[in-house]
Structure 1
């Protein structure tokens, strides 16, 4: 009898789970009446579930987009708006209070609300229509009908119901993406702390400059080409000794950045992208080809959402014919093409933020050496599921919010002279963040202007309004033009180069404005017939304005340029895709010859022999790649991590193993007696001795982890990708994690490789950022373009389209990208008609 009851209970539970999991699957075919529509809207989906929307006016187009995105991704949208508004604790309880404190201190949502008043009437209308579409879906779906996560969330936040979607919910996510791509703040903090703690000169070796002799520069913009500009944008920096007492608040500021990693994934340094555009002179069709693959933290579902937006008749009331990738919760298309032009983005790595160390005393701070200014204070209340509301005090100076406060409690912030470091006269120190993304701007206008761009001038007009995050933008059009444009706000400073925190009390390092748009780097139809952006330097050292001192490295850009120039024939879309799969490791090409010069004996020699004759490619089944990356990890720990730990430095200063560290080690190889070639944990000294120890330790590690013979080792057995739902997929019950997550999958590539599946040696070999999507746009025939998402169109784990694109992505394959109505109809698997409510057709 007991066995029978157990079986019945198990069957009932299984039935409940099945019903709950499938309840949220949206209607993809048939007819639905949707409040607010003016007329009939058609939603056509292919076998991958990617929607193509057809409407007769722009209002209906974006209302339908909101409805469709909510069908597929509302849980993701809901979580994202709670991140940007600092309201995660409302959903997930006390564990997220600190995350909310950070988001509220930065003020992402407050800035987004301010930006709404700056937008054009057209943009405001599109955002309102999108919100109406989301809310119409919410009005008829809740709980398990909305998403499988909501019934589980009910145990953490009983009674939680999603509120209505608003335009600020869409706009604020741009702030989070800008934060994801901000690297200058972390670089400033790391350089400051390392310079203070390491022997003179050793810290400088960890920040090698851009190798202009061996790495490509994106444009030829210089003193003579920047719209006739002469002179520099700022004066030389006056001496700015930073008191040692300020080190703590600088570290607090960066620990705030690190605290968001668990929610947003890896940010800043190491996060990048590839994009390149090739002129018709180099293609089989005589028309341009454009590629883009942004590198971001892997998520399930993907950060990107594929969509097509089509007006049934293009005109003033409905001017859109556009297709590409947007963010869940964002109207329009962020990256893609319309009927005339295509565009892509990569991160520029601009110095768009500064840490200002302020002298504070009570409710005042010192400014310009003698003036006492009042600190601005605002109070915010954080609601907490299962807990009491928390009060947050956000203090700000003229330079921005005091982000070092956020790691302290409110009572500490209120205390006289708050801050662990003391300045003369009893004042304390605090760190303020000056960041372009906190200056309200009409970036949302720019996104719709991109969707409507018809040629190079209208594309640049859109770029001029794109304030933050500052990106590299590549361009191609059907007339055969290719181009590059730096958009956005790049600060002009009175002094300083944004490499270290600066004293706020002098006023000497204040910002005076932004580089004029017509003097930002730009290029149209370069003579070489291609443009590559892979987070490499945009301009040479003679460019008259400071964009950054910390360009990304040029390894990927150099390799992509080489593959374009050495192609055996003219390029087509398939050839562009093959370039995305290149796994050549330039770091190995530099380091392996030095490793092979070091004699080894015994078992370790067999592993070292894997490197002989290696082509430096890193597919998932490569034994040499497995061994080399293990050596690389051991080498970084022996040379750098051990010393930084001994100096008492925080983990954010440890090597992340990316291209910057390729360059550092390559420079050190030329000096076998450099002080860095000294392992403090083992007492090993000298380059060759340290290299030998790294190889022996790597051999030992892989025998333990992978066993067998070295020839049987595989890079993909170490280097794996696990796709996780970033909320309940990491913290929820085990069965739910199994349902929501996918993987692990063996992958090739690596950090600062064209096939950029990045990893951090401090954390192991697991993948922490990926090409989050890939696309190749064929300007000769848009229907011949190709695209792939990391996961799938749907955010519902029971959907066939939850992870159906992942296997293709892993193989480097792509999907057909229909654009014309005929191509869309040929690919159609589902047709959904959205109709106005009865009697409300206009």
Structure 2
């Protein structure tokens, strides 16, 4: 019997949901299969670490043996082949990091990331960093040129002969890496020199406050010592537009924003168990993923090098060569200045000098922008350096925002076109003794660093090496007029007159970024040295140590006692009424232990104390507040300083005791009632966020690595937090590398880096060292791996 039209319609209606469900299920299955296929394909981006690979360009076979931590040991018949192999393994493990660094230095991020990074590119083109790197290559010695070229050959051999996918970042952006060049290797040194000499950046920050604070207030907020060469706030300085100054700072890429800290010390043989020196170093920089450092051992018939390299660079930055060991801390000297240049009223293409009008040096730079039209930037420079206030393609728009037709130029030793630092580092790697190493430091010019060294003969020392400007007048604390010549640099401190010690009678050298100059030192180095908390703690612990061993020095690197907390608490506890929180802090020994509650309570108290002290004064300026160094804050509290008065309450004057009590109330409100249940490590975590993948919400949780840590800004185990924002106690700055060199047997030296050898999230070595690092562990890198190892033979091929 034929179906009724209504029944047929009902059956068709019932079939549609089933069909839609089948279609949706098929789509989900297809997406799962595609995702699975993509993951399988992406895993082919992992490097080949065993077997054989034939590579054109090699002169003889090279063996690369990777231990269980992914640390390569390169055995080559020549230094050229060793450089080739280092370039190859760097590219295997850290290719995206290398790509990003060279693009930052060349001002070419926008080619792959679009207009979001255009300001960064403009700034780097203005500084001309990549041009400087190219010049350094052109003027390099034949030996350095060969090392750079052979390293580039190794990187390009990997690009030409790799199998499988590129690292995830390349696939995400749909780009292929260009061939590596020697200048790509040299650009990193220029970036690091800028990052470690950031006085000019602080000058702009201080200049932004010139209309709101007195010179004495600004000095109080930024200096740890009284000013000896005070520069008053000139009318020209006060007229600089605050918004324009902030815009200049905002254009500075993160890779060159100032991050300044490190510890280093060396003990002579009279104080060690072995009778030979010990040298410990832990450089402090921003925590990144991948980590800056890459550990390696290189052996040839003429050279042995073991230590920390930087992907993209064919030298060991911190390490030993079998006879000499070395390490670095930042000096915090003032090696850069902002000059306010006055435009010639008769001709805007010229500026004023003590000798009359001079023409700007100009050039045009074209920046390609992904998804947009190319942007042409006119770059100008004066006799002092590049004009950093030109932020637009049409520089006249910038000039309109500056007073009296002025421009801001940057003078910096890191921009010296004749810099020989790469040459110096290459030669330091090959020094045969401490005395020879010291002499070769003459070529290390920027950034200025405190370089400690020791040799197997028992000699050791430290030199504050690098170009240090001699100013006709002033101290580089604030931007100064450039047209008068009164503040010009007249030369540099001679190498022989730089602070240095060789086999000192004390039997040790120690530096934690504190002032390196003895009283009465004739040259001006700077005003912003770090407070000596870390150096004092190191010295105190060394005083307590007899017959020191490498393991004891590694333990000292992980010391978390805060001398700052031990100084602050006695000043503020008498101001507080009795309470469980006060009792907890009073009984605490100042150890910023990740498993304890007291460090979190103390940090919250300090955070709210600084906010209550300074935020009200900064609010009218429209600026985030800047907290001074802790001894300055302690002095303010002890003197019942005017900073304690809340400017928002006109009807009364708050005392410092009022502010301290309110800050503790704020901390208690933030942390809750269960103080005993708090743990510093729950909030104080080192989060290593992937450079690109960590910015994508769906991938961030899969690629970020986080570990709880101890320490604080002023502990030997540096654990700096921003103290503001959504995660105020997050550990953002510290020792990405720790090394202890034992000159009695350099193969027993101890190493650890903060994250892992690989920058590829699919690798087992992406974050496998993070927990060991946070737990204070370390390991040697002997000639032969202990335990399982992968061996890869690189042989000459066609």
Aligned twin of 1:334: 317
Give the superposition deviation at 1:204: 3.2
Q: What is the rounded CA distance, in whole Å, between the counterparts of 1:138 and 1:301 in structure 2?
A: 20
> Out of 571, 585, 592, which is 1:594 matched to?
571
User: Would the aligned equivalents of 1:240 and 1:503 in 2 still touch at CA under 8 Å?
Assistant: no
Alpha-carbon deviations, 1:113-168, whole Å to 9, x = none? 111122110000000000011111111338x62212222112xxxxx321110000
Q: What is the rounded CA distance, in whole Å, between the counterparts of 1:254 and 1:131 in structure 2?
A: 38
Aligned twin of 1:402: 387
Is residue 75 of structure 2 the alignment partner of residue 54 of structure 1?
yes
> Out of 679, 689, 693, which is 2:658 matched to?
689
Alpha-carbon deviations, 1:245-274, whole Å to 9, x = none? 54227x63564334435x328524xx2011
> Out of 720, 734, 757, which is 1:758 matched to?
720
> Out of 222, 244, 256, which is 1:252 matched to?
244
1:792–1:236 Cα change, 3 Å: closer
Q: What is the rounded CA distance, in whole Å, between the counterparts of 2:219 and 2:331 in structure 1?
A: 23
TM-score (norm 2): 0.93
User: Would the aligned equivalents of 1:340 and 1:455 in 2 still touch at CA under 8 Å?
Assistant: yes
Aligned twin of 2:512: 534
User: Would the aligned equivalents of 1:348 and 1:471 in 2 still touch at CA under 8 Å?
Assistant: yes
Unmatched runs of 5 consecutive residues or more in structure 2: 1-21
Q: What is the rounded CA distance, in whole Å, between the counterparts of 1:702 and 1:349 in structure 2?
A: 35
Aligned twin of 1:747: 709
1:136–1:332 Cα change, 3 Å: same
Aligned twin of 2:544: 566
Q: What stretches of structure 1 move > 6 A for 4+ residues in a row?
A: 235-240
Alpha-carbon deviations, 1:368-397, whole Å to 9, x = none? 456111112111000111111111111111
Give the superposition deviation at 1:458: 1.8
Greater Cα radius of gyration, structure 1 or 2: 2
Q: What is the rounded CA distance, in whole Å, between the counterparts of 2:98 and 2:576 in structure 1?
A: 56
Aligned twin of 1:276: 265
Alpha-carbon deviations, 1:587-613, whole Å to 9, x = none? 211221233212436xxx222221021
User: Would the aligned equivalents of 2:562 and 2:591 in 1 still touch at CA under 8 Å?
Assistant: yes
> Out of 462, 467, 477, which is 2:455 matched to?
477
Q: State the SS of the aligned residue for 2:343.
A: strand
Alpha-carbon deviations, 1:288-345, whole Å to 9, x = none? 111111111111111111111110x22xxxxx21111111110021110011010000
Give the superposition deviation at 1:550: 2.0
Q: After superposition, where does 1:782-801 map in structure 2 within 5 Å? A: 782-801=746-765
1:397–1:237 Cα change, 3 Å: farther
Is residue 472 of structure 2 the alignment partner of residue 452 of structure 1?
no
Give the superposition deviation at 1:236: 7.5
User: Would the aligned equivalents of 1:622 and 1:714 in 2 still touch at CA under 8 Å?
Assistant: yes
Give the superposition deviation at 1:31: 0.5
Aligned twin of 1:80: 101
Aligned twin of 2:199: 184
Give the superposition deviation at 1:723: 0.7
> Out of 494, 515, 526, which is 2:472 matched to?
494
Give the superposition deviation at 1:736: 2.7
Aligned twin of 2:17: none
Give the superposition deviation at 1:211: 8.9
Aligned twin of 2:533: 555
Q: State the SS of the aligned residue for 1:299.
A: coil
1:543–1:599 Cα change, 3 Å: closer
Aligned twin of 1:151: 171
Give the superposition deviation at 1:6: 4.9
Give the superposition deviation at 1:829: 0.4
Q: After superposition, where does 1:608-619 map in structure 2 within 5 Å? A: 608-619=582-593
Give the superposition deviation at 1:562: 0.6
Aligned twin of 2:791: 831
> Out of 368, 378, 394, which is 2:363 matched to?
378
User: Would the aligned equivalents of 1:356 and 1:433 in 2 still touch at CA under 8 Å?
Assistant: yes
User: Would the aligned equivalents of 1:85 and 1:104 in 2 still touch at CA under 8 Å?
Assistant: yes
Q: What is the rounded CA distance, in whole Å, between the counterparts of 1:291 and 1:778 in structure 2?
A: 9
Alpha-carbon deviations, 1:396-434, whole Å to 9, x = none? 11111110112xx222x135x9242332xxxx1111000
Number of residue equivalences: 770
Aligned twin of 1:432: 409
Give the superposition deviation at 1:770: 1.6
User: Would the aligned equivalents of 2:237 and 2:479 in 1 still touch at CA under 8 Å?
Assistant: no
Aligned twin of 2:140: 119
Aligned twin of 2:342: 359
1:199–1:59 Cα change, 3 Å: closer
1:375–1:200 Cα change, 3 Å: closer
Aligned twin of 1:170: 185
Aligned twin of 1:300: 289
User: Would the aligned equivalents of 1:253 and 1:403 in 2 still touch at CA under 8 Å?
Assistant: no
User: Would the aligned equivalents of 1:46 and 1:829 in 2 still touch at CA under 8 Å?
Assistant: yes
Q: State the SS of the aligned residue for 1:664.
A: helix
1:748–1:825 Cα change, 3 Å: closer
Is residue 636 of structure 2 the alignment partner of residue 661 of structure 1?
no
Unmatched runs of 5 consecutive residues or more in structure 1: 155-159, 213-234, 315-319
Q: What is the rounded CA distance, in whole Å, between the counterparts of 1:283 and 1:575 in structure 2?
A: 10
Aligned twin of 2:670: 701
Q: What is the rounded CA distance, in whole Å, between the counterparts of 1:444 and 1:825 in structure 2?
A: 31
1:458–1:239 Cα change, 3 Å: same
Q: After superposition, where does 1:602-641 map in structure 2 within 5 Å? A: 605-641=579-615
User: Would the aligned equivalents of 1:344 and 1:473 in 2 still touch at CA under 8 Å?
Assistant: yes
Q: What is the rounded CA distance, in whole Å, between the counterparts of 1:773 and 1:689 in structure 2?
A: 42
Is residue 559 of structure 2 the alignment partner of residue 582 of structure 1?
yes
Q: What is the rounded CA distance, in whole Å, between the counterparts of 1:168 and 1:768 in structure 2?
A: 30
Is residue 219 of structure 2 the alignment partner of residue 204 of structure 1?
yes
User: Would the aligned equivalents of 1:266 and 1:769 in 2 still touch at CA under 8 Å?
Assistant: no
Say what the alpha-carbon RMSD is for the aligned residues: 2.2
Q: What is the rounded CA distance, in whole Å, between the counterparts of 1:457 and 1:476 in structure 2?
A: 9
Q: State the SS of the aligned residue for 1:43.
A: strand
Aligned twin of 1:768: 732
TM-score (norm 1): 0.88
> Out of 406, 411, 414, which is 2:396 matched to?
414
